[in-house]
Amino acid sequence: MDATFSQLAMLGSSLVLIFGLILLWRRRVPAYINAFTGQSIALAGVAGATGYFGNEPELYWVAAFLLVLKGAVIPALLRRMGRRFGTERELDPYVNTATSLLMAGLLVLFGYAVMRPLVATSQLPTRASIPLAMGLILVSLFVIVTRKKALTQIVGFLMLENGIALLAILGTYGIPLIVELGVFLDALLGFLVMQVFVYRIQETFQTMDIGQLSRLRH
């Protein structure tokens, strides 16, 4: 039972992480949105499985919220933004694709190193997957730092959110539902604010390129 759960959690977390890595490899906005949708669904799957094996019925609610909010609503909003400036691709990020992929590999290894003490002392069947969640958090931060287009950074931020949620689910079998709801609301509001920003940036500069913002200094 525990072995199956451990395998499932590992499989789901690996999927969540791989969807995060797609952000570094693809260049088109629709691909980013699809990756985020897939990641959220995989995350909801992990939440559901943890709820079932860990006897935490509250996690079913979390899984349902994840599916609706991050699997449907936010991707739909992202798609609407994507239709407006979907033709802009992530052409010259600060770090090129091959290097970023290798960096991402190193970051995941770093995540393993950081989480080692926790994994060693934990008794949970999910402990082996915890470093993957840390890896996703680090990779998403890397995306936010190295990519220039506002939309890519937003998807990076949302994936960072997913990473934190995954860490919470794996590490503690979910935080209380009320806190979880607060986090969801926070993420949604943050996303909406960022959306407004993107529209303003687009209006002012006719592009989503964050690099253009340095022109404001002159």
Partner 1 sequence: MTAAFVMAAAQGLLALFLAPGVVGLIRWLKARLQNRRGAPAWQPYRELRKLFQKEIVVSRNASWLFHLAPFVVFASTLMVAVLVPVLAAPLPVDRIGDLLVVVYLLLLGTFFLALAGLDPGSAFGGMGASREVTVAALAEPTLALAIFALARGAGSTNLGEIAARTMADPLSAVSPGHLLAFAALFIVMLAETGRLPVDNPATHLELTMIHEAMILEYSGRYLALIEWASALKLLVFFVLLGNLFVPWGLATALTPGAVATAAGALALKLGVLAVAVAVLETRVAKLRLFRVPELLSASFVLALLAVTSSFLLR
Q: Could you tell me how many residues of this chain bind partner 1 (CB under 8 A)?
A: 25
97 Ramachandran zone, left/alpha/beta (phi>0; psi -120 to 50)? alpha
Closer residue to partner 1 in complex, CB, 162/180: 162
Q: Is 97 in the site for partner 1 (CB under 8 A)?
A: yes
Site for partner 1 in 16-45 (CB under 8 A): 17-18, 21, 25
Smallest distance, partner 1 to C-beta of residue 103, A: 9
User: Cα–Cα distance between 67 and 140 in angstroms, integer?
Assistant: 20
The token pair at 115 is 């989480």
Closest residue by Cα to residue 124 from 172, 187, 192, 190: 172
Residues 99-128 that bind partner 1 (CB under 8 A): 101-102, 104-105, 108-109, 112, 119, 128
Which CB sits closer to partner 1, 21 or 159? 21
Residue in the structure block whose two tokens are 């669904």: 41
Q: Is residue 131 a contact residue for partner 1 (CB under 8 A)? A: yes
Residue of 11, 68, 177, 210 that binds partner 1 (CB under 8 A): 11
Residue selected from 14, 34, 122, 212 as contacting partner 1 according to rule CB under 8 A? 14
Our CB check for partner 1 shows the closer of 128 and 164 to be 128
Are the beta carbons of 144 and 164 closer than 8 angstroms? no
